[in-house]
Amino acid sequence: WSRPESDLNMVLAELGGRIAQAMRSMTSKTVIDEEAVDNMLKEISSALLSSDVNVKLVSSLRKNVKNRINLEDLATGLNRRRMIQQAVFEELCEMLNPGKKPYQPKKGKPNVIMFVGLQGSGKTTSCTKYALHYQRKSWKTCLVCSDTFRAGAFDQLKQNATKARIPFYGSYTERDPVKIARDGVEMFKKEGQEIIIVDTSGRHKQEASLFEEMQQIAAAVEPDDIVFVLDSSIGQAAHDQATAFKEAVSVGSVIMTKLDGHAKGGGALSAVAATSSPIVFIGTGEHFDDFETFEVRSFVSRLLGLGDVGGLMNAIKDAGLDKQPELYQKLSQGVFTLRDMYEQFQNVMKMGPIGKVMSMIPGMSALMTKGREHESQERFKKFMTIMDSMTDDELDTENVNKIFTDTRVFRIAQGSGSHPQQVWELLEEFKRFQKMIAKMKHLKIGKNGEMPQMTRNPQQAMQQMGKCLDPRMLKQIGGMSGLQNLMKSMNGMDMSQFMGMPE
């Protein structure tokens, strides 16, 4: 199943790439005048129209950006470039902002979440992804299948729930969806479940019978939130569909699916925002991990290759990687073994798909070749499989050149089902890591990851950190000034989580 990794490197990649390129072309010009801004806006408008964004919204964005920018009042040089970039960023955020906050589940009490949508929108899969998202954050989640219309609906939900280890309720014999929904919700409330997700029937089109059934289930289970699941491939037609569902039941949130393979995603996102329905999650593939929280400013920032440091910090904390005293001690000594590399691979993978993590770091998405993110993830896994075939002595040695003979490499290759060349590749990658870590001892990292030198002599600390980074990574971040801005955004947190990111 070799598919591209689903994340923002793939989601609307063409749209983001074209807008970012238009902004880069403008900022690279010697003189930024009215013509340069007009050319940039023309290219951005063309990219948005290609993504099926409504022509009125595009026209409004173009006009608003020009209103925000008064070239005569702006200083020349870098400040002018930054102000123009900021204006584009703010207007794109405005286009996707519904102006309304979604429902926030309350811990320790039952939250009934009802899912609605047309058949084929990815509703049942989204139910499981939603449940799994909260389960990973220590919520008690469960699923109720009240879809008696589609053959195999309960089987699909049962299979998904079993795979994700989520409690579920449904019936092969009861044909009344309202009774199933009511019984399931009552049962799970008694069990003390916190997120009770009710999956409802879909239809091939917006039929009166579908809306009537939705209203009956809503009246029976009294949901705290109704989530509308929408297929993004319909583009700006999403506006009419979202409006029709909102008029039938009180839709509070939207999940946008299939954003990984369609050119019309931008149109769908902007169309839904125009209905004042907050998008809470986006689905970017069929796998349970292909699901991420949608936050407008973060999304636009990553789409334009500007990174999302806040999201990166949250990912690090969610994976429990912000407190690693043993790792910090080793970094301060410049010590690094294959066992350490194995643990760091595990840590990076805890944070989610590699491409997604990379897109959070300003400038780093450009280092990942489009469509090859999955390849990098698989490479990580292959390296870990090879290391699983190593002895303790091999994993803990600091001198790989001395211990790894042809005989050992052949034995490890056989044990891990690999080619000896792959084992040598792993060892070369390790040496690159080890060399970089050896330089880090000069940073004098504390046991909690703090760097006192950053306060005492920030200039020297920055120079030292710049030497530790892969030159390509430093270049993509924006050189030493980019590194300085990144560290400010991260509030001085250590860089060890992504210093050795894959090529």
pLDDT in the model for residue 244: 86
pLDDT in the model for residue 322: 54
pLDDT in the model for residue 502: 42
| Secondary structure letter of residue 75 according to DSSP | P
State whether residue 93 is helix, strand or coil. Answer: helix
Which tokens sit at 195? 């997120």
Residue 269 CA to residue 320 CA, distance in Å, equals: 32
Q: Are 168 and 141 in contact (CB under 8 A)?
A: no
pLDDT in the model for residue 313: 59
| Closest-CA residue to 160 (of 315, 291, 282) | 291
Residue 258 CA to residue 233 CA, distance in Å, equals: 7
Report which residue type is found at 142: C
Query: Phi and psi (nearest 5°) for 40?
Result: -65, -45
Q: How many C-beta neighbours within 10 Å does residue 55 have? A: 11
Residue 220 CA to residue 199 CA, distance in Å, equals: 14
Reported as half-sphere exposure (CB side, CA atoms, 13 A), residue 381 has a value of: 9
pLDDT in the model for residue 131: 96
Residue 243 CA to residue 249 CA, distance in Å, equals: 10
Sheet holding 279-283, edge to edge: 168-169, 141-145, 195-199, 111-116, 225-231, 253-257, 279-283, 291-293
pLDDT in the model for residue 100: 87
Residue 367 neighbours by CB under 8 Å, 6+ apart: 358, 472, 473, 476, 501, 503
Q: Are strands 168-169 and 291-293 parallel, antiparallel or unpaired?
A: unpaired
State whether residue 433 is helix, strand or coil. Answer: helix
Query: Which helix H or strand E contains 141, and what residues bound it?
Result: strand 141-145
If phi > 0 it is left, if psi is from -120 to 50 it is alpha, else beta; for residue 409 that is: alpha
Let me know how long the chain is.
503
Report which residue type is found at 116: V
Q: Are 280 and 254 in contact (CB under 8 A)?
A: yes
Residue 354 neighbours by CB under 8 Å, 6+ apart: 5, 348, 368, 373, 376, 377, 380, 501, 502
pLDDT in the model for residue 499: 43
| Secondary structure letter of residue 103 according to DSSP | P
| Secondary structure letter of residue 235 according to DSSP | G
Residue 20 CA to residue 13 CA, distance in Å, equals: 10
Q: What is the CA 385 to chain-centroid distance, rounded?
A: 26
| Closest-CA residue to 117 (of 101, 130, 105) | 130
Residue 404 neighbours by CB under 8 Å, 6+ apart: 394, 427
Which tokens sit at 111? 């939250």
Which own/partner contact pairs does 134-137 have at CB distance under 8 Å and 24+ positions apart?
134/105, 134/194, 134/195, 135/164, 135/166, 137/318
C-alpha torsion angle, residues 130, 136, 142, 144 (rounded to 10) = 20
pTM for this one?
Answer: 0.68
Residue 408 CA to residue 390 CA, distance in Å, equals: 9
If phi > 0 it is left, if psi is from -120 to 50 it is alpha, else beta; for residue 426 that is: alpha
Residue 267 CA to residue 270 CA, distance in Å, equals: 5
pLDDT in the model for residue 30: 75
DSSP track, 355-413: HHHHHHSTTGGGGSPTT-HHHHHHHHHHHHHHHHTS-HHHHH-S-HHHH--HHHHHHHH
Averaged pLDDT, groups of 10, the chain, 503 residues long: 37 74 79 84 90 87 86 62 83 87 93 92 93 92 93 91 94 93 96 96 79 93 94 86 86 86 74 84 84 85 70 62 60 77 78 62 52 68 92 91 93 94 92 77 54 57 60 59 58 44 43
Which tokens sit at 150? 């589609």
Token pair 């970039």 in the structure block, residue: 85
Q: Are strands 279-283 and 291-293 parallel, antiparallel or unpaired?
A: antiparallel
Which tokens sit at 162? 């079993």
Which tokens sit at 428? 């070369």
Q: Are 125 and 117 in contact (CB under 8 A)?
A: no
